[in-house]
Amino acid sequence: MHVADDVIAAVATAAGAASLAVVRVSGAGALDVADGIFRGSSPLAGVAANTMHHGWAVWPRTGGGAGPEGGGPERLDEVVAAVFRAPHSYTREDVVEFSCHGGRLPAQRVLAALLHAGARLARPGEFTLRAFLNGRLDLVQAEAVADLIQAETRAAQDLALSQLAGDLSRRLDALSERLIDALAEVEARVDFAEDVGGIEVPERVIDALGGAAADLGGLLEGAAYARAVREGVRVVMAGRPNVGKSSLFNALLGQERAIVTAVPGTTRDLVSERLEVAGVSVTLVDTAGWREGGDAVEAIGVERARAAAEESYVALWVLDRSAPLEDEDRAIAARLAGRRVLVALNKSDREARLAPASVAALAGVAAHQAIEVSAVTGAGLDALRAALAGVLGAADGGPSLAATVANPRHVEALERARAALERAAGAAREGLPGEIVALEVRESLACIGEVSGRVLGADLLDRIFGRFCVGK
């Protein structure tokens, strides 16, 4: 794929008040463009790589040597220019990074000067795209850059760092090498049967294909939890009025976030707040009590609550343990049927009127997913958090995040790769022609190549790098 040779520039730091901001320039002519706006002790084109230079950013000289309004070079900001020469830079191109003062104007004025001097504005993710196209990163590592920027928990950061360091890439490369060896033997038997002892696929090759499929299954085993870590999840609280949803919401957060009264229908709209559970960024949503009737405003709130629960990753169904089941509870259970549900039997500080096992059966969940809890005393809160961690896939600490597949694109491609290997092994066991086995192995290798970036199209790159911020 063609690597652009023009010079790109963008602000590489977030907008807003700060002590510093960075403007990045990259491309074969980056040093010349940078010299067009830099005034220091010497031109940047002549300095050594990996050095920093103090000076001023000025509006670039034009034919008359004037600033934008005339009258000589206009000082834009005091800057430090860091010079990186190809191939030892983020993009493997010549790169200059101007550190200027933070705030709304300095970086934007420096960027405007660079664009006037001959650079063009970088597209979202274009610096990382160039790093990929120039071979500094593979596609897994490039996507990890965006994940690292967007990480909201330490676990999400660790997951992104693992992939940026190449942990997943190395496992996929090793797997691909094994498949290439197996494919070579299969094709040799197709093309040179007399020389290698027959056209049948040897048992050791069949075992190798089955082992590779099992290894892909191992990579995919923790994908649901890893994706939750990467993207965060939404947990919506459901329940009839006055079961203590808002009190439990506040108790889980450790703060008085939702209004709590004894009046049914107090919560009218969705109230959400973030907390961390087992390394996952959880958006906990309190909702209106689910019931029929009520005024028009409450009815709207109930419909929003039901819609939110249907779109959530987990529904946290809250019941009043001190009261028998009501028709509204049974209606909620029916509404949540088939969804991922965790049950909280609130008000455990009062006399029990509900058994966890019976409620779990009604909700269609395992007994350990019906937790007795008291929002008033705090009893059971740790058990509820642990149960939620289990629903997220993090029971007993969760699977290791090292070399784990988290990106939905990777998951889909590797599932196809595993299915192709299973078909290949099955065809070999049935004694089908080696060409069929080879075709399936090539399909599996192509799917793995989609993950690493060895097999891709321009439309895929546009989708991937389009979600990056400008300047990265």
Give me the sheet containing 271-277, strands edge to edge.
271-277, 280-286, 233-238, 314-320, 341-346, 370-372
Res 295: pLDDT: 58
Contacts of 355 (CB under 8 A, 6+ apart): none
DSSP string, 68-90: TTSSSPPEEEEEEEEEE-TTSSS
DSSP state of 23: E
3-state helix, strand, coil split of the chain in percent (to 5) is 45, 15, 40
Report the first-to-last Cα separation within the chain, whole angstroms: 20
In tens, the pLDDT along 350-362 reads 998 988 888 888 8
Res 65: pLDDT: 41
**Using CA atoms, how far apart are residues 272 and 252, in angstroms rounded to an integer?**
12
Measuring CA to CA, which residue among 6, 9, 4 is closest to residue 471?
A: 9
Residue corresponding to tokens 């029916």: 334
Cis status of the peptide bond prior to 87, with omega within 30 of 0: yes
DSSP state of 44: G
Contact 245, 289 (CB under 8 A): yes
Res 268: pLDDT: 47
Res 300: pLDDT: 74
In tens, the pLDDT along 293-312 reads 665 666 677 778 778 878 88
Res 462: pLDDT: 67
What does the block give as tokens for 253?
């957060």
Measuring CA to CA, which residue among 94, 118, 120, 114 is closest to residue 37?
A: 114
Measured in degrees and rounded to the nearest 5, phi and psi for residue 347 equal 70, 40
- All residue ranges of the chain with pLDDT < 50 are 1, 63-71, 195-197, 259-261, 263-266, 268
**Using CA atoms, how far apart are residues 31 and 7, in angstroms rounded to an integer?**
10
Res 158: pLDDT: 92
Res 42: pLDDT: 92
Catalogue all structural domains in the chain, each as residue range(s) with its CATH number.
Answer: 8-137 (3.30.1360.120), 149-222+404-453 (1.20.120.430), 232-397 (3.40.50.300)
